[in-house]
Amino acid sequence: MQEIVITGSRIARSVTTEAAPIQVISAEDIASRGVINVQDVLLQNPTFGSPTFSRSNSNFDIANSGIATIDLRNLGEDRTLVLVNGRRFVAGEPGSTAVDLNSIPTALIDHIEVLTDGASAIYGSDAIAGVVNIMMKKDFEGVAVDARYGISNHSDSITKDGTLTMGGKIGSRGHAVAYFGYSEEGAVYSRNRAGTAVDQESTGVLDGELDHAFEVTRPYLSSYAPQGKFTAGKSTYTYLPNGTLVTGFYTNGNSALGRQPDGFNRSAYRTIAIPTTRYTGAANADYELTDWVKAFTEINYAQTHTQSRLEPFPLASNQIFTDPSALGQWDVQYRDANGVIRNNPLVPAAILASAKDSNGDGLKDIQFTKRLSDIDNRGSKNDRQTFRAVLGLEGTIPKIETLVPTFSNFKWDASYNYGQTTQSQVSTGQVNILNFANALDVEQLANGTIQCRNASARAAGCAPLNLFGFNSMSKAAADYVRADQTLNAKVTQKVAQGNISGDVFQLPAGPLGIAIGVEHRVETSASDNDVLTQQGLNGGNKAPNVEGSYHVTEEYAEANIPLLKDLPLIHSLSIDMSDRMASYSSVGDINSWRAGGEYVPVSDLHFRGHYSVSVRAPHVNELYDPGTQTFPTGLVDPCSGITASGGGTLGANCRSIPSILARINSQGSFTPTQAELQGVSGFNSGNPNLGAERSKNISAGAAYSPSFIPNLSLTADYFGIVVDNAVESVPRQFALDQCYRTGDGHSGQFCGLITRDQNGALQYINSNLQNVGQLVTSGIDITAAYNYDLDKLGLAGTAGVHASYTMLFQGYTVPLPGADHDQFAGEIGASRHRATVDLTYSWENLNFDWTVRYIGPARFDDQFLKSYDWPLTTGIGAKIYNDVQVSYALFDRTVELYAGAHNLLDVAPPPVYSGLPGDVTGTETAAGTYDVIGRFVYGGVRVKF
């Protein structure tokens, strides 16, 4: 029996089962599912939760639109380790460790091993939830071509895919495989689906049952409209499509004004599934330098182009004019220093007449909102390139038995792995707010010419900007204020490692196997935004550049110790142990370990179990993000209402702040104004002082393959994971309360996040990441597989069934010590029950595959339901999807024709309307969990010679 290395261990073993819980997805499984991206295959496995990013849920995350990640056990993408051929793969998401599965050539995959157990002791950081090890084809010989075409029943999501694989021997001592692929997945737009064509909003619940009924306002149009909405004094103005200026503005419902709603339908511009184009190439080769030394190499290259698309930018006057005293109003220059009337010639007379001087600066004030359709639609074009190369040597030690008689079967490998991901992004629809302000400040010369008032601005190309009406901006003005956002990012990974394994001596029950190794890894990431984005001058909040790196050196050891065998009720009994020491430049020294074993009472039945301590070191963004600006809402200043006496500890802490005390002395109490409350800002940042997350993992299960029923296998495995010191953001209200109610108002980690201005008002409340959270999950995985030769029943062909089921017992997070549990088990994206059943039939040249996917009932986020006092049972019912494929081989199996359908019965996604947790903007459902494409049919041909 050939000795193999399975993902759960680095020790090669001649066994038919593995002590660790592993599920295997074969190349045949992938081909029969008819998918292009390996993410779609993995998401059919019920151990995976909803991905952070996919083609259908990332349209509004412009920096990461189109990325494909995975999330094992609902613990987050950063806690799932993705390997290729047992080695790390460079991240595709800048600042993170998450691998973009767009970079993996699906057609070149030999099989995928999913280890559903903590494995940091074997592979290092990030393997808290488990490991996905993608094994590529190495022994392929010949030439294979695969081409397919697919389309949804809505005539969108048009998909084209073509691959070429070639392989053969290099002389008598080597082998090489090369691969080239192209795929194109077309867009799906919200406007082309009945359920998403018009904006809608949930405004209440009608019942608290699954498959709920909600009060829904449809249409629910935006008040940011292309023609503009203008508030002057106590009057509001807008424009009709024919150009008429009218008073009043409304978005939905019936109007006493006798006209159609003025609001804007954002869904007409939004995207459900992002168009994605991929070019992939890969090669691997090995060559025997001697009878016991082999050189090998692996090369991967992927180029991905994605294009997100959403509605034009909504701009308001308070984004241009940020002076809190003016409350974001546009001060209209209408009188010069000599008292001469000098009206802004672009302001309609009716609006100017209604405008008032609301802040006493001698200028009339107008507030506006406008959808910038004159500029461009928003969206981002992302071009990503991923390159990875592995060079190494591997071999055996043939004379080690001579040197140490008890040593045998020793194998070794040494390799260097370099990976790089680059991203170039251009986002449209943004504006330079400084230029916008200049373009609004205009004057009219005696000859009637209208120009920008500021001479320097005119020299820089300033053109007067007319806000009033549809398509009111001139091209010159639009070009002057337009400011496309850019982002350039680069991620690199360098890994050098060496491993050796073998049998050190024979025990009565078998050989004692060991594996030892060392690894040095360097991770770097840099994301560079354009200058306006860094300064928050393009209509959005400030977003900094993020750069950082860390390195780690690790040593590990693993042992497999057979204890007993061939005894009554002990066919075999063994234990295995592993330990890894890691020294990080970022978090210092950390240790992970794993211990467990396997008990086989009879050859048909295997019991297995492990206890492990796994770790995750924080990534670059978590460590080094300087802070992205935000404007939090709903905060309560604990010092508000404090007077010259009383209030206990809180009162004393607040009065100890000189600016607050001065205000109390002058006003009698500290009472922030509305402008002060609205002006609170803050930054969400990383923390270079973060430590490592640490988890405790328990797994226990059994595998049963009864000899009296050939080709039947059953497994059941319990899993339990507790993640301590989880990296979480500190809630701002918590920081305020901890500083003033329980702290001293000045010192400590929470007071350091708070800045007040000279008047005592809150100015900034920052939130950084800290090791303050906890994650807990547990459940059971069950699999069954059976193949049966129908000839025994007098029928033709062979039938098979493979089923996998995951039941989630519990799952919750604790954001801060002492905080209430925030349950996620049973919520949308983490249904308690998920299953996939694959039925196959083959007869001579005909093959048929039918996959049934079950996603159990789910409720909405419990915190959301509690906040609205809605029944905690409010949610959605189960969904069942059917996928089929049929194929037929011709010409001595050199040609195979195939056709299939995903979501054959065209099951509609459950309604998760805007305003409800889980909704993905533009899809009106939880697009990361449920199918949003509808029935999708495809056909193709495979040729091999």
Bridging pattern class, strands 767-789 and 682-685: parallel
Q: What is the DSSP string of 136-161?
A: EP-S--EEEEEEEEEEETTS-S-EEE
* Strand ranges for 186-275 from DSSP E: 188-189, 201-205, 214-217, 229-232, 235-239, 245-247, 271-273
Helix axes 648-655, 658-667, angle to 10 degrees: 100
pLDDT of residue 362: 76
End-to-end CA distance of the chain: 30
pLDDT of residue 539: 80
Band of residue 867 on the pLDDT scale cut at 50, 70, 90? confident
- Please give the average per-residue pLDDT across 805-832, as a whole number: 93
- pLDDT digits over 168-184, tens only? 999 999 999 999 999 99
pLDDT at 92 over 90: yes
pLDDT of residue 236: 94
pLDDT of residue 342: 60
Cα 467 → chain centroid: 38
Give the three-class secondary structure for 647: coil
Report the candidate in 122, 98, 132 with the shortest Cα–Cα distance to residue 554. 122
Question: Alpha helices, DSSP H only, in 308-396?
Answer: 317-320, 349-354
For 685, the token pair is 């940042």
pLDDT of residue 335: 58
The whole-angstrom separation of Cα 213 and Cα 551 is 53
Q: Is the model more confident about 479 or about 20?
A: 479
Give the three-class secondary structure for 381: strand
The CA distances from residue 818 to 259, 468, 484, 773, in Å, are 55, 54, 45, 10
pLDDT of residue 338: 56
H or E element that contains 463: none
Band of residue 16 on the pLDDT scale cut at 50, 70, 90? very low
For 443, the token pair is 């004057």
Max distance between CA atoms of the chain, in angstroms, equals 109
- pLDDT digits over 41-76, tens only? 999 999 999 999 999 999 988 889 989 999 999 999
- pLDDT digits over 749-791, tens only? 789 999 999 999 999 999 999 999 999 999 999 999 999 999 9
List phi, psi (to 5°) of 922.
Answer: 95, -15
pLDDT of residue 211: 62
The whole-angstrom separation of Cα 273 and Cα 192 is 12
Report the candidate in 428, 450, 449, 432 with the shortest Cα–Cα distance to residue 441. 450
pLDDT of residue 816: 85
The CA distances from residue 382 to 62, 300, 311, 376, 614, in Å, are 8, 20, 18, 17, 35
Task: Indicate the burial class of 885 (C-beta count within 10 angstroms; 0-12, 13-18, 19 or more).
Answer: buried
pLDDT at 162 over 60: yes
The whole-angstrom separation of Cα 905 and Cα 24 is 28
- pLDDT digits over 306-348, tens only? 999 999 999 999 888 866 555 567 878 665 555 555 668 899 9
Instruction: Count the Cβ atoms, other than its own, within 10 Å of residue 398.
Output: 11
- Please give the average per-residue pLDDT across 808-816, as a whole number: 93
CB 822 within 8 A of CB 816: no
pLDDT of residue 15: 45
- Percent above pLDDT 70 for the chain: 96
CB 198 within 8 A of CB 270: no
- Please give the average per-residue pLDDT across 659-671, as a whole number: 94
> In whole angstroms, how large is the CA radius of gyration of the chain?
32
pLDDT of residue 778: 98
The whole-angstrom separation of Cα 881 and Cα 856 is 12
pLDDT of residue 839: 97
Mean pLDDT of the chain: 92
- Please give the average per-residue pLDDT across 141-162, as a whole number: 97
Q: Is the model more confident about 15 or about 152?
A: 152
Band of residue 742 on the pLDDT scale cut at 50, 70, 90? confident
Report the candidate in 668, 622, 620, 618 with the shortest Cα–Cα distance to residue 645. 668
pLDDT at 589 over 90: yes
Residue recorded with tokens 């090998």: 296
The whole-angstrom separation of Cα 57 and Cα 928 is 6
pLDDT at 625 over 70: yes
Which residues make beta-bridge pairs with 88? Answer: 83
pLDDT at 213 over 90: no
Q: What is the DSSP string of 513-579?
A: EEEEEEEEEEEEEEEEE-HHHHHT-SSS-----EEEEEEEEEEEEEEEEEEEEEETTEEEEEEEEEE
The whole-angstrom separation of Cα 612 and Cα 592 is 8
pTM: 0.92
- Please give the average per-residue pLDDT across 408-430, as a whole number: 95
The whole-angstrom separation of Cα 71 and Cα 478 is 43
- pLDDT digits over 884-897, tens only? 999 999 999 999 99
Which residues make beta-bridge pairs with 694? Answer: 615, 724
